Chains A and B, each alone.
Chain A
Amino acid sequence: MNRTDPFVEFSGVQKTYDGETLVVKNLNLEIARGEFLTLLGPSGSGKTTSLMMLAGFEAPTHGTITLDGRPLNRVPPEKRDIGMVFQNYALFPHMTVAENVAFPLRVRDVAGPAIFERVKRALDMVHLTSFTARRPGQLSGGQQQRVALARALVFEPKLVLMDEPLGALDKQLREHMQMEIRHIHERLGVTVVYVTHDQSEALTMSDRVAVFNEGAIQQVAPPDEIYERPSNSFVAQFIGENNRMTGTVEQREGGQCRVRLDDGTAILATAVEQATVGARSTLSIRPERVRIDPAPGAVANLFDATVEELIFHGDHLRVRVAFGGVSDFVVKVHNSDDRPSLAVGAPVRIGWRPDDCRALDAVG
């Protein structure tokens, strides 16, 4: 088999539960061997459903899923050799930690001494060696999460699925576990499909992120590309913060275009495919890419604005400004000692490069 063949492939997959609405619409996705892919999207967008189809607990109503070149349609879950970590861990309460981790090995009739050895190694990996005799009910959330992880990895599956595994943990523990999962992935080289609706989790952990909305993939790309170059306004809106302005494309030249806002302001921006002349477009710019008092000639878009509100955030300052017909425009200023002095109601000059502003499809 060719090494470049996709390891997991969804082609034309659809799913409906009630025969009326498609919960997953025409899903096409390829996942490479050893990749860490995250499915990110709002609640109800079909992430869990897609994962469940891959794991074998739901059948696609249309299309095929292949794993390692093998169509999965008729393969029951226990024959797929896919490790899975559930949102609420799904540890077996009547078994000890060691028995839980040994479960997949027992099922596979691994010999006793080998089981002991492998369980120990798996628990070592998640730093839980001293808890083997406890029951899941006697563990903290983070510890249970690690047991679930050890259990999903102990039988050395080639593919591991995780459905919001860190959802129930507090922020600090969650960040710590993100690192651990990431390290384990690097060490073992397994393929991971990870589901979350926490965008920072998706951005920090993944090789690639697939953004879901309403049962369809909006964009699949590495985290930096998703953040820097969203391909439509849903992605721009969903990932990170952004300022939106609506107007009509007036002129397009290569990758750049000029958009005229409804109040007459003209803005230069980077165009995506849909932004053809005459089309409505939503402009998107990240607050941290807007400069205050830019050096003359440094930016092509330059406006006189008024400071409406100042919000202190510790390491940065959020400045809400109004200009032209735009209010609710946020600028992020780093809290360094050379930051410009700003006062509410005072005039301020703001500007940005066309490269940082994207003309996307119109919404609303």
Chain B
Amino acid sequence: MTATTASALAAGLGPDGLSLKASLARAERRSRLVSFALVAPLLLFIVASFCIPLGFMLYRAIDNPEVAETLPATVAAMKGWTQGGVPDEPVFAALAADLIAAQKARTTGLVGKRVNYEIPGARSKFLKVGRELERAPAGGPWKPVFEKSDPQWTDPVFWSALKRIGQPMTAFYLLSAVDLRLDQTGALTRQVPDQAIFLDVLFRTLWISLLVTVSTLVLGYPIAHLLASLPPRHANLLMLLVLLPFTTSILVRTTAWVVLLQTNGVLNDVMVWLGLLDERIQLIYNRFGTVLAMTHIQLPFTVLPIYSVMKGISPAHMRAARSLGAGPVYAFTRVYMPQTLPGVGAGCLLTFILSLGYYITPALVGGPLDQMISYFVALYTNRELNWGQASALGAVLLAVTMVFYAIFNRLVGIDKVKLG
């Protein structure tokens, strides 16, 4: 090597004078383009079917279009009004015009419903005044019409609330998803007790998921160990049994549990017949049934990552530990178990996160106090048609999931996790 190339190399330069980094980047660009082209279809699919809907869902949680769109003049007129009293005739005139238009478009109920979330009883008052406005003489004055219809319209509290509800975005749904609300002065306070249910539901969701995760681990760890140490012929058969739940639909499996566990079900019959029980016991439509059925469904998700990690642990490690003086228990806990942790972490994380989103199983085999957060998302989406609240609950669930993921990553390190 000549002195000049040696000094160029020492300075990080290649023979053509380009920096080594630059030539490396150039050499890698092509292969990067190729790999990007290969993943592009999947990427587009994920963006279209996952990222965009997720974004819309998250936006729905803060989107607040009802009042702003149905009562545009009122919202504009209230701009100049400072909170603290009852507005004057111009605001009432704008509200009257908006409501008369809304009556024609049949959207008064929509506004009423949205206001109703924050001021109980407001919906019927909107509908009433709407009808009266249509009959009132055109040209006003409008304020007396409202005054005559209901005392609500002269309540300062109502007006400051309406101004807040008129904003195009709101924290209302998100706050109420964690049992908080803004009071009349706009300060953060606790939700009124009879509406404060979501934190309860959230903790219940976490608790049930934890119970399911722990039971799948306790049941699954020995199975995974057996699977990993059996000769292939027997291991295949056992693996088939472990995977069996995957081949039946969740609905079928869950109904099967109902048949087995109900008070007049198979299990109770057998136990009474054997004389183990004097009285039939409640095994379903309670926490026990919920955790049992969910554990059954989640078991393979916990077992498979643990199994695949165990499969990779050389049997020589246990032998080495034994030859170095460790008894079977010591060798198992100090040498074998620590090596299975990445699989345990992966399996438990998978099961925990999947359990957080359970809906159909608790709905079918749980009692009223076993319903998880997804149940309420479905309830608000399908029955209450309050998509803002449904989205906010979804957003909270997503946030909680990410927090757990982050904690897990901090404690275990996601790069150490092995799924297979």
Contacts and interface: CB of A to CB of B under 8 A. Distances in A.
Interface of A: 55-57, 76-78, 80-84, 86-88, 90-94, 103-104, 107-108, 151-152, 155, 161
B314 A76 contact: no
Given A92-B335, A94-B339, A86 B320 contact: yes
B105 interface: no
Contacts, number: 66
A104 B324 contact: yes
A100 B336 CA distance: 14
Contact of A107 (B319, B324, B338, B339): B324
A125 B330 CA distance: 28
Contact of A77 (B323, B334, B341): B323
Nearest to A80: B323
Given A88-B314, A92-B335, A78 B326 contact: yes
Contacts of B29: none
B325 interface: yes
B121 interface: no
Contacts of A84: 319-320, 323-324
B325 A104 contact: yes
B321 interface: yes
A81 B323 CA distance: 7
A59 to B, nearest CB: 14
B327 interface: yes
Contacts of A57: 319, 322-323
Contacts of B325: 78, 81, 104, 107-108, 155
Contacts of B321: 92, 103
B27 interface: no
Interface of B: 314, 316-317, 319-327, 330-331, 334-335, 338-339, 341
Best-buried of B317, B322, B324, B339 by chain A (most CB within 10 Å)? B324
A78 B323 contact: yes
Given A92-B335, A93-B339, A107-B330, A76 B320 contact: no
12 contacts: A76-B327, A78-B322, A78-B323, A78-B324, A78-B327, A81-B325, A90-B317, A90-B320, A92-B321, A103-B324, A152-B324, A161-B323
Nearest to A161: B323
Contacts of A161: 323
Contacts of B338: 94
B333 to A, nearest CB: 12
Contacts of B323: 55-57, 77-78, 80, 82-84, 152, 161
A155 B325 CA distance: 9
Nearest to B314: A90
A30 to B, nearest CB: 22
A165 to B, nearest CB: 12
Contacts of A81: 325
Contacts of A108: 325
Nearest to B338: A94
Nearest to A91: B320
Contacts of B341: 94
B324 A76 contact: no
A76 B323 CA distance: 9
A84 B335 CA distance: 16
Contacts of B320: 84, 86, 90-92
Contacts of A152: 323-324
B231 to A, nearest CB: 12
User: Which one of A57, A76, A151, A161 has the greatest number of beta carbons of chain B within 10 Å?
Assistant: A57
Nearest to A148: B320
A93 B338 CA distance: 10
A246 to B, nearest CB: 44
Top 6 nearest A-B pairs (CB, nearest first) are: A90-B320, A90-B316, A104-B324, A84-B323, A77-B322, A107-B325
